[in-house]
Amino acid sequence: MVTKRTREEINKYEHIEDLNAKRVVIGDGANIDSFARLRVSNPLTLFDSKNIFKNPDLLDTEENQPLFYDNQQISGSGTSTLYENNKAHTVLSVSNLTIGKRVRQTKQRYNYQPGKSLLIFMTFVMCSKNKVGIISKEGYYDENNGIYLLSDEGGYAFVIRSNTTGTPTETIVRQSEWNLNTFEDLDCSKTQILIIDLEWLGVGRVRTGFVINGIPLYCHEFNHANIKTEVYMSTPNLPLRSEIENDGTGEQASLTQICSTIISEGGQDKLGLIKHVSNPSLVSANTIGTTYALIGIRLQTNFIGLATEILNTALQITGASKQGVWKLLFNPTIAGTFTFNTQAFTGLEVAYGATANTITGGVEIAGGFVESGSVSSGSIGSTSSNVSNALKLGSTIAGVNDVIVLSFTPFTSNTDVRGSLTWRELS
């Protein structure tokens, strides 16, 4: 049965229709992130890197940021690295008619949080287009998964690498097939700003392109939802990577890496498991000035992409009027048997120190003093410190894991000490 609407009802509905007609609709493009949210200036930087300072302890032919990057000739011969301070860049090179591959890759993988668009910028210069025998790559990827720009004899392409089958496969989209802008004037032998953004969620979209005159110019997007039957790559937690290869038929060539950043758009909530370990027994730090290992941590082999951050250290020393300094050391040399074992409900391995585990070398990333009182005042001393550092656990290109060790150096002889570490594993 059809009924007549009252004048009041008509006015109400006309008002709603009028409001709908005046809605502002934001079209797809660079003004929205990969989750179709309007972009505003609230990025949270997960990592950034610029080549503006020379490490005085390193040669120009060595990696200038060795704590954050691994830089290796991973096959063949004749490859090299050159850091040029005045030009603020690192140059990776291959030799004339010589088979060889050179890779520069961050040791850390960076945490993607579901629901937050991950945004990557990388500045670089590649050799000229269609160069015979030369393969250049720049992007957010490793040997198994990721997204990168490719330049080879076939020209330019955007690539997604996936290890979902246990054997890496690649989806290669050539410049003529880019679905947003084929950018016919693109010349990567000139300085370029590569942009990649992604929603993973296992099945989200990936956009790739370049920033020209301050404006993101998206060239190709990979869509996966309602198309694929499985995730498009095994993990979104990946490193930045630059590489150049000569297959033996190419002339001398180079790839210049300038500056990079990884951003979580809309911030990142620090969720995830918080884990704590402590020495099961006291370590006898007998010799003044000698550094002893208390606790060591590193990533498990199957958790290379796990992002972690140390939150807190604590130490306790026993004995009247004992003193010393504690340090967190990055990749020290440890004497004796220092055995790492897996732990329940964590992606890290833990090693507990003993008197034989003395330490040399390593990079100090945190530290402080601890002392005990006299017999009359109580001969136990303790300290606890929060830790914040950009240097976190990672691994080399070959899969050798970084180690962080809580250590103690006594100022008084025969000092017994134990320690603890607390960390978060980001989810």
Residue 168: what residue type? P
Paired strand residues for 323: 371
Domain 43-265 has CATH 3.40.190.290: no
Cα 230 to Cα 25, 142, 395: the distances in Å are: 32, 20, 28
384-409 b/e (C-beta count within 10 Å ≥ 16 → b): eeebeeebbbbbebeeebbbbbbbbb
Where do you find CATH 2.60.120.200 in the chain?
43-265
C-alpha distance across the termini of the chain, in Å: 57
Residue ranges of alpha helices (H) inside 153-312 are none
The one-letter amino acid at 315: L
Hey, what CATH topology would domain 272-426 get?
Jelly Rolls (2.60.120)
Which runs of consecutive H residues, i.e. helices, occur in 298-422?
Answer: none
- Nearest CA among 219, 51, 181 for reference residue 124: 51
Task: Judge contact between 126 and 189, C-beta under 8 A.
Answer: yes
| Exposure string over 268-283, b if 16+ CB within 10 A, otherwise e | beeebeebebbbeebb
Digits of tens for pLDDT over the chain (427 positions)? 444 555 565 455 455 455 455 566 677 887 888 888 887 767 899 999 999 998 888 889 999 999 999 999 999 999 999 999 999 999 999 999 999 999 999 999 999 999 999 999 999 999 888 899 999 999 999 999 999 999 999 999 999 999 999 999 999 999 999 999 999 999 999 999 999 999 999 999 999 999 999 899 999 999 999 999 999 999 999 999 999 999 999 999 999 999 999 999 988 888 899 999 999 999 999 999 999 999 999 999 999 999 999 999 999 999 889 999 999 999 999 999 999 999 999 999 999 999 999 999 999 999 999 999 866 556 688 889 999 999 999 999 999 999 999 999 999 999 999 999 999 998 7
Q: How many CB atoms lie within 10 A of CB 14?
A: 10
